Amino acid sequence: MNRKPKIVILGAGYGGMMTANRLKKANAYQDADITLVNKHNYHYQTTWLHEPAAGTLHHDRTRMKIDSVIDTNKIRFIKEAVVKINKEEKKVVLEKSELDYDYLVIGLGSEPETFGIPGVKEHAFSIRSVNSVRLIREHIEYMFANYNKQEEKQEDLLTFVVAGAGFTGIEFVGELTERIPELCEEYDIDRKKVKIYSVEAAPTALPGFDEELVEYAMNHLESKGVQFKINTPIKEVQDGVVLLADGEEIKSQTIVWTTGIRGSSIVDDAGFETMRGRVKVEKDLRAPGHDDVFIIGDCALIINDEIDRPYPPTAQIAIQQAYTCAKNLKALITGKTELEEFKPDIKGTVASLGGKEAIGLVGDKKIYGHSASTVKKLIDNRYLYMLGGMPLVLKKGKLNLF
């Protein structure tokens, strides 16, 4: 009797979860042994993390137990951290065990990109996991609670610096503008004492986004107290201070780093040819020279030929990659050799600005305000529906659309 091929999926982010989901729906478990590996026993929505970081959403709303959405009788789940990939021996080293594979799917997610700026790792928070955002929320609340205890009021306790005005930075700043008035009321602090800085090295906030939408976003956030420092690189982060390239110093006890991401260092260490931890994959999502390794999500580099630049590593693309990856794995384990090419289908992009405000581009149409916020929630709910059907939407979805 022939041995079933072994498929190992590393990471339960958008790409890994949806690949496992699609393989199950395609009954691939009948033809292969499928294992999903993740360091936590839950999957979380990365695109929601800015909300619990600011304290406008409980962190448990962003996560769901893996065994509640994946049938672990058909797809084996191992809760362990990945330590190393040995692609020559076709093995994955975990914290407490090893796995061998016939086909490997790498969806290990990302790490914050510091661009080598001194002090970032030591003195800045990052929005990267459920635990990291819980720490940010608790720290922000502690700053407010501690302010009135000081005989000499320390203004840096109420000064918040968000490094990076890309999607994550702007969305987090938007949520801060919603949360801070509540904290000011709770701790009896004048809102005017609180300062929020959004610092961006590029010439514009939301680089690459439509200019009119960017202007709308900045005007809205400025009206709620955000001070933008655009085209202003950060030179260094020290304990309690941000040093800007123009010589200015901002004293702050809360520095949140959102300047971008790089792929997992495990992919670098595995010996793949990478660019900032990302592998330029073949059209079928396999790693060059490795027909048994698929790479998806934040670790995959895909060039947009129209502008000769990489597509940003978004949840939308990771989910689409998962569909293609699962189809190709199903083809391989059933003896087919023709694989499907991955072609991104960017349906739109929406950024929340806090509360019921957002901006977006859906097709060629620009959307603003409440209507954009509604579209954002519909997009979030659609993913939940794809993953776990209406029960998951009702349990975890954003049902207050208007």
Q: Name the residues annotated as catalytic.
A: 171
DSSP state of 49: T
Read off the amino acid at residue 115: F
Q: How far apart are CA 183 and CA 191, in angstroms?
A: 9
Q: How far is CA 281 from CA 47, 267, 286, 298, 343, in A?
A: 24, 13, 6, 12, 12
Largest Cα span, the chain: 78
DSSP state of 334: T
Number of C-beta neighbours around residue 320 at 10 A: 21
Residue whose token pair is 């914050």: 112
Q: How far apart are CA 159 and CA 176, in angstroms?
A: 12
Q: How far apart are CA 333 and CA 342, in angstroms?
A: 19
Q: What share of the chain is helix, strand, coil (3-state, %, to 5)?
A: 35, 25, 35
Q: How far apart are CA 40 and CA 243, in angstroms?
A: 36
| Backbone torsion region of residue 177, taken as left when φ is above 0, otherwise alpha when ψ lies between -120 and 50, otherwise beta | alpha
* 60 backbone dihedrals φ, ψ, rounded to 5°: -65, -20
- Name every residue whose Cβ is closer than 8 Å to that of residue 144 and which is 6 or more positions away in sequence: 157, 158, 183, 184, 186, 187, 189
Read off the amino acid at residue 304: N
Q: Where are the beta strands (DSSP E) in 61-194?
A: 63-65, 76-79, 82-86, 91-94, 98-100, 103-106, 110-112, 125-126, 159-163
- Name every residue whose Cβ is closer than 8 Å to that of residue 63 and which is 6 or more positions away in sequence: 42, 43, 44, 45, 130
